[in-house]
């Protein structure tokens, strides 16, 4: 980066930090993009004059609301609900809803900002948004979750719609929660439309939507590995998380011939040197999705595995690492351990799981490293396919959806290679994804005037 570009980044970030105090995750996500785009922006008088990046970093609208509900003891509980409608230049706002006690404006703004670039990369007409609540579904009964979801949607429904804003799932929001929210939306608005994605297969959901983020991350990693004549076959894989994304990343990695040796949750990780085979995977699916259990129980079920309380899996030896849990779950020291242990590829299933220090370490050591906004875009892409099917009022076969998902992931990879290949031939996927995602949004904003 030349001096002019460096100065642009520092001045731009000083304004972002002053205007959005106490939002470290948002600053982190914006800085990464600003650093990638600065050389293009300083070379373009029109991007500067029209303040395109400044406008992308300012949400079009943020809605914050009270969510009162009754727990099973009949007591009043109050949570805070949010929807960040970040950018609608290329389509209706689109992005998941997260239920987790850590949810705050900084986290949702970082997610909505990243979503804008990710959605653009899919080539589908979707803008960027994200929402959620500090509600913790863990340990709550189905009835409590339902009452919360109904109260949340009673307010949110005023601001969303199939041509306006189309939410989906994220951490703490899976099929059960989407079902309760969709039911309440339909009841209040008296319409059956594709306003939420991730719906059940019998009532408007797309085949393969639950699988899409994890599968897509593996498809993206396959493309990266192929650039070096490698594949998943025979490789050892470390995965973090044991939720939706981790589960299907694990499944696809097994199908592609890899040995997956770790899974985790927020209290620890399991290491199974014999590998998680399909039978063990079925056990994990039941444990997490039906019994809502903890990953520790895997080690009680399978003596080949060891449970490491309070630790993350990045110290284990692997060829491929797939962080699939949450933001900033892989730091610089852990990245150095992965490199030292011979890891060649890191594909992010989660959003922003690697810290800036970790990313620097991967890139300095020339690893194949894909940021989540490129590698996990298969989830929102398949949500986009669900919207298409809902509009047409028909359903494609799983094979058709899988083929489309596969081809979208290949296209995103090509776009990253196009915009991210450096002089020595190394593909900087961060640069590629940021520039590739930005172009379409910027052009649309220029064409639509100052709105």
Instruction: Check residue 121 for interaction with ligand NDP (CB under 6 A).
Output: no
Spatial separation of the C-alpha atoms in residues 129 and 118, rounded to whole Å: 11
Instruction: Check residue 91 for interaction with ligand NDP (CB under 6 A).
Output: no
Stretch that binds ligand NDP, among 119-127, 175-183, 236-244, 250-258 (CB under 6 A): 236-244
Single out the residue of 92, 204, 205, 349 in contact with ligand NDP (rule: CB under 6 A).
349
Find the shortest distance in angstroms from Cβ 243 to ligand NDP.
2
Q: Please say which residue, 8 or 100, places its beta carbon nearer to ligand NDP.
A: 100
Spatial separation of the C-alpha atoms in residues 48 and 401, rounded to whole Å: 40
Single out the residue of 79, 151, 326, 428 in contact with ligand NDP (rule: CB under 6 A).
326
Asked if 304 and 274 count as a contact pair (C-beta separation under 8 A), the reply is: yes
Instruction: Check residue 52 for interaction with ligand NDP (CB under 6 A).
Output: no
Tell which residue, 295, 330, 327, has the closest CA to residue 312. 330
Single out the residue of 127, 131, 243, 437 in contact with ligand NDP (rule: CB under 6 A).
243
Instruction: Check residue 95 for interaction with ligand NDP (CB under 6 A).
Output: no
Q: What CA–CA distances, in Å, run from 191 to 123, 187, 196?
A: 28, 8, 12
Find the shortest distance in angstroms from Cβ 448 to ligand NDP.
27
Spatial separation of the C-alpha atoms in residues 120 and 109, rounded to whole Å: 17
Stretch that binds ligand NDP, among 16-24, 262-270, 399-407, 415-423 (CB under 6 A): 262-270
Spatial separation of the C-alpha atoms in residues 167 and 95, rounded to whole Å: 5
Find the shortest distance in angstroms from Cβ 301 to ligand NDP.
17
Contact map string, positions 378 to 407, toward ligand NDP, x by CB under 6 A: -x----------------------------
Instruction: Check residue 428 for interaction with ligand NDP (CB under 6 A).
Output: no
Single out the residue of 119, 122, 206, 213 in contact with ligand NDP (rule: CB under 6 A).
213
Rounded to 10°, the helix 398-420/209-226 angle is 40
Instruction: Check residue 329 for interaction with ligand NDP (CB under 6 A).
Output: yes
The yes-or-no answer on residue 130 being catalytic is yes
Find the shortest distance in angstroms from Cβ 265 to ligand NDP.
3
Find the shortest distance in angstroms from Cβ 178 to ligand NDP.
10
Tell which residue, 89, 14, 2, has the closest CA to residue 43. 2
CA angle 224, 227, 231 (to 5 degrees): 65
Question: Considering only residues 125-184, where is the footprint of ligand NDP by CB under 6 A?
Answer: 169-172, 174
SS3 category, 173:
strand
Single out the residue of 20, 106, 151, 376 in contact with ligand NDP (rule: CB under 6 A).
376
Spatial separation of the C-alpha atoms in residues 398 and 404, rounded to whole Å: 10
Q: Please say which residue, 381 or 442, places its beta carbon nearer to ligand NDP.
A: 381
Find the shortest distance in angstroms from Cβ 37 to ligand NDP.
22
Instruction: Check residue 437 for interaction with ligand NDP (CB under 6 A).
Output: no
Q: Please say which residue, 267 or 448, places its beta carbon nearer to ligand NDP.
A: 267
Alpha-helical segments (H) within 314-428: 332-340, 356-364, 372-375, 378-392, 398-420
Asked if 265 and 240 count as a contact pair (C-beta separation under 8 A), the reply is: no
Find the shortest distance in angstroms from Cβ 184 to ligand NDP.
21
Instruction: Check residue 242 for interaction with ligand NDP (CB under 6 A).
Output: yes
Token representation of residue 34: 């600003």
CA angle 323, 326, 332 (to 5 degrees): 60
Q: Please say which residue, 230 or 272, places its beta carbon nearer to ligand NDP.
A: 272
Single out the residue of 325, 339, 405, 445 in contact with ligand NDP (rule: CB under 6 A).
325
Instruction: Check residue 241 for interaction with ligand NDP (CB under 6 A).
Output: yes
Report the length, in residues, of the chain.
Answer: 451
Give CA 3 to chain center in angstroms.
33
Single out the residue of 20, 120, 150, 351 in contact with ligand NDP (rule: CB under 6 A).
351
Which of 94, 109, 118, 130 is the catalytic position? 130
Find the shortest distance in angstroms from Cβ 246 to ligand NDP.
6
Spatial separation of the C-alpha atoms in residues 419 and 100, rounded to whole Å: 35
Instruction: Check residue 205 for interaction with ligand NDP (CB under 6 A).
Output: no
Residue with tokens 């199939």: 162
Rounded to 10°, the helix 429-448/398-420 angle is 100
Q: How many residues bind ligand NDP (CB under 6 A)?
A: 24
Asked if 129 and 159 count as a contact pair (C-beta separation under 8 A), the reply is: no
State the DSSP string of 410-429: HHHHHHHHHHHB-TTS-B-H
CA atoms within 13 A on the CB side of 113: 27
Stretch that binds ligand NDP, among 1-9, 25-33, 70-78, 348-356 (CB under 6 A): 348-356
Q: Which residues of 76-99 are buried (b: 16+ CB within 10 A; e: fewer)?
A: ebebebbbbbbbbbbbbbbbbbbb
Residues that bind ligand NDP (CB under 6 A): 169-172, 174, 213, 241-246, 265-267, 324-326, 329, 349-351, 376, 379
Catalytic residue set: 130
């Amino acid at each position: 980066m030349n001096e002019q570009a460096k100065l642009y980044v520092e001045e731009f970030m000083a304004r972002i930090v002053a205007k959005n105090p106490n939002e470290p995750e948002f600053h982190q996500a914006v800085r990464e993009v600003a650093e990638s785009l600065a050389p293009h922006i300083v070379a373009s008088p029109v991007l500067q004059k029209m303040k395109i990046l400044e406008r992308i970093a300012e949400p079009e609208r943020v809605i914050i609301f009270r969510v009162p509900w009754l727990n099973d003891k009949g007591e009043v509980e109050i949570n805070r609900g949010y929807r960040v409608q970040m950018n609608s230049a290329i389509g209706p706002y689109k992005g998941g809803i997260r239920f987790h006690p850590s949810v705050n404006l900084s986290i949702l703004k970082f997610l909505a900002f990243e979503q804008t670039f990710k959605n653009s990369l899919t080539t589908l007409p979707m803008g960027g948004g994200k929402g959620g609540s500090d509600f913790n579904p863990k340990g709550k009964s189905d009835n409590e979750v339902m009452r919360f979801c109904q109260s949340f949607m009673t307010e949110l429904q005023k601001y969303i719609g199939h041509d306006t804003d189309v939410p989906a799932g994220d951490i703490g929001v899976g099929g059960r929660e989407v079902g309760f929210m969709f039911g309440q939306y339909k009841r209040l608005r008296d319409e059956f439309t594709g306003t939420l994605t991730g719906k059940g297969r019998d009532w408007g959901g797309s085949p393969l939507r639950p699988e899409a983020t994890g599968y897509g991350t593996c498809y993206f990693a396959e493309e990266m590995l192929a650039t070096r004549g490698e594949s998943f076959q025979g490789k050892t894989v470390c995965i973090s998380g044991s939720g939706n994304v981790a589960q299907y990343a694990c499944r696809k990695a097994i199908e592609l011939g890899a040995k997956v040796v770790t899974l985790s949750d927020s209290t620890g990780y399991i290491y199974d040197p014999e590998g998680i085979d399909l039978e063990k995977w079925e056990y994990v699916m039941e444990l997490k999705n039906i019994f809502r259990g903890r990953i520790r129980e895997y080690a009680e079920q399978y003596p080949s595995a060891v449970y490491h309380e309070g630790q993350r899996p990045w110290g284990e030896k692997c060829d491929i690492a797939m962080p699939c849990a949450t933001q900033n779950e892989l730091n610089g020291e852990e990245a150095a351990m992965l490199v030292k242990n011979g890891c060649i590829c890191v594909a992010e299933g989660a959003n922003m799981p690697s810290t800036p220090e970790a990313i620097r370490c991967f890139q300095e050591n020339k690893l194949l490293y894909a940021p989540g906004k490129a590698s996990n875009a298969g989830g929102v892409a398949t949500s986009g396919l669900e919207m298409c099917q809902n509009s047409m009022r028909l359903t494609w076969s799983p094979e058709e959806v899988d083929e489309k998902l596969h081809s979208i992931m290949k296209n995103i990879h090509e776009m990253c290679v196009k915009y991210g290949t450096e002089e020595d031939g190394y593909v900087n996927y961060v640069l590629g994804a940021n520039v590739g995602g930005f172009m379409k949004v910027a052009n649309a904003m220029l064409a639509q005037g100052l709105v």
